[in-house]
Amino acid sequence: MPFDQLRSTLFASALLSTIQGLDHRSRSRIASQINSFDVCSQRDATHEIKRAALTVGIDLSAWECPSSRALYNTVRTADQWMEQGIVALSVQDLRAPLAQIHDIGPLMFAWGNLKILDRPAAAILNSRKPRLPNPDDRWLLATKRVVRAAIDRGFAIVSGYGLLPYCIVSLLAKGSPTLVACDEVLPFMQSPQQLQRFLAQYGELFDLDKTLFFSPFPPGRMPQRAVRYAERDHLVGALSSMILAVEIKERGNMQSVLQVAIERGLPVEYANDQCPGVEDTTAGNINLTSRTGEALKTGPADNGATFSRSQLESNISGKSDVYRQLCREPSYLIHYTRSCPGPWPGQSWAEYCRSLVEGVSEASHSAFDTLVRILRERRIRGSRRLIRGAESVVCLTECVPRELQDLIEWRKGLVRWNFEPYGLAFGRKSLFDLGAKPVIYAVEEAFADLSPDLKHLFQCQNHSDKQWTFEKEWRIKGDLCLADFDPRDLVVIVVTHAEAAVIQEQFGYKVALAGIQMRKSGRSRQKVL
């Protein structure tokens, strides 16, 4: 695209983002019809944008161009994008055979190495996966094999970020030519702060010199996440000259992408899922195992876990008194750990994906893995999630393991359990001396009356017909460092004898078995009385 044309298109895209009532597809359609004009002229800008809108059937006759100062700022924005290397591309600029975009705007924005468009490109398709993947999951092993084979055959790799299968593919392709489809405004068109957050989270997945980023979303108000994901997935297909299908869910985005690719006449290959000695832990997907497209279902979705009282024959040898002490003496506060879908706090997506690809210990991020990580780092990281006020806190409870059974429930809105039976018990007096305080359970109106140094302790006592007071919660500001405690006063809570042995061998802490075990099932909770 010539310099003046690109400048006019980027200027119009920035200006259209300020017009109320235009969705992202309308903005894309208008921007795709912009001709070169004098971006510093209010009259020319008004005339050209209204003309382009009318061309695609959108009436902007009542729209008035902003002030000269606003126009100047828009010109600066467009020029900054050009200096950063942002380009605008149409469908005709794609070199994939029979390129066509399914239900996506006609204009795309790109940043990176444009020479990659000259190469044949292969997309590796995987539907969404269970939230706690394992390094030996069949889909992951097959994806590793397929990406290596595609690179060896000379293909650029088409991928994305944000969802685990895309991040895995991007990491495996790092160092090779890669096309990346975005599910948001191109990160390099966002503010410096937003770009830095993007690079901190995902930058290590890519070799930026060998990557070309694409976005079908012009600046401005974004559609809902489901729409963004669908358009991102179809852009992956449109950028590809071959589709390599690993595991695809029925009636999902990826099946739609695959169907469009077949209609376009793209070559489609299906991963051979024969991985000897590997237990199939993938759920809810179709394994496409042959070039004929014959599919085999792998079974019901693994959406979570239920908890039941364990049938443990005895407590860990020599430790039964530890558990009885926990339950008998009101002198402990316990921080229970949970599984952690996705990266740990402070861990980038690249580090997380690398741990899965390399089979690193604790890569599955189970509640036990979380506990081991805390003991290895010797600190519990504070969090602001679901906390009122501006403080990060560590949450604890007076509830001993035997009390959890009646409290454990699946939080649908958070897509997780409120408790899992793993934790670390601290002496209450030591925590109190460090600043831990009981949560203030009160009505919503009471929050405004609290002083700033107490707001982090507030918890609405009734919400959605739930009584939170039963959780007997305490909170302490900031991180909680294990070095501040006498190791003899700490008790680690686990479920199985094997887990207890790991804790004792690696860390030497006292261990108690929770008396509650986790077994995989559906999301509905089953109590064993």
Per-residue pLDDT tens for 179-196?
999 999 999 999 999 999
CA 126 – CA 166 distance, rounded (Å): 8
Assess whether pLDDT exceeds 90 at residue 322.
no
CB-based burial label for 452 (10 Å; 0-12, 13-18, 19+): exposed
pLDDT band at 174 (very low <50, low <70, confident <90, very high): very high
CA distances (Å), 10 to each of 37, 105, 110, 140, 215, in order? 12, 15, 12, 39, 14
Assess whether pLDDT exceeds 60 at residue 414.
no
Q: What is the pLDDT of residues 494-526, one digit of tens each?
A: 988 899 999 989 998 989 888 755 444 333 333
Q: What is the pLDDT of residues 222-269, one digit of tens each?
A: 999 999 999 999 999 989 999 999 999 888 889 989 988 888 888 999
- Give the per-residue pLDDT at 309: 36
Q: Please name the helix (run of DSSP H) or strand (run of DSSP E) that holds residue 475, with its range, or none.
A: strand 473-477
pLDDT more than 70, % of the chain:
80
CA 359 – CA 363 distance, rounded (Å): 7
Token pair belonging to 295:
């599919």
Q: Which residues pair with 297 in a beta bridge?
A: 286
The reported pTM is: 0.79
Q: What is the mean pLDDT of residues 432-446?
A: 86
Where helices occur in 454-516 by DSSP H, the ranges are 497-507
Q: Tell which wins on pLDDT, 160 or 275.
A: 160
Assess whether pLDDT exceeds 50 at residue 153.
yes
Assess whether pLDDT exceeds 80 at residue 334.
yes
Token pair belonging to 114:
């444009």
Among 459, 492, 523, 472, residue whose Cα is nearest residue 373? 492
- Give the per-residue pLDDT at 307: 36
Assess whether pLDDT exceeds 70 at residue 61.
yes
pLDDT band at 480 (very low <50, low <70, confident <90, very high): very high
pLDDT band at 416 (very low <50, low <70, confident <90, very high): low
* Average pLDDT of every residue of the chain: 82
CA 202 – CA 222 distance, rounded (Å): 21
Query: Could you tell me if 124 and 143 are in contact, meaning their C-beta atoms sit under 8 angstroms apart?
Result: yes
CA 504 – CA 519 distance, rounded (Å): 24
Residue 423's identity, in one-letter code, is: G
CA 470 – CA 419 distance, rounded (Å): 13
CA 396 – CA 374 distance, rounded (Å): 14
Q: Tokens 């049938």 sit at which residue?
A: 311
CA 497 – CA 72 distance, rounded (Å): 69
Q: What is the mean pLDDT of residues 191-217?
A: 95
Where helices occur in 192-266 by DSSP H, the ranges are 192-202, 225-238, 253-264
Q: What is the DSSP letter of 383?
A: B
Q: Tokens 């070039």 sit at which residue?
A: 291
Cα 334 to chain center, whole Å?
A: 28
Q: What is the mean pLDDT of residues 446-462?
A: 81
pLDDT band at 327 (very low <50, low <70, confident <90, very high): low
pLDDT band at 458 (very low <50, low <70, confident <90, very high): confident
Q: What is the pLDDT of residues 361-405, one digit of tens each?
A: 889 898 899 999 999 999 999 888 777 777 889 999 988 877 776
Q: Tell which wins on pLDDT, 172 or 412.
A: 172
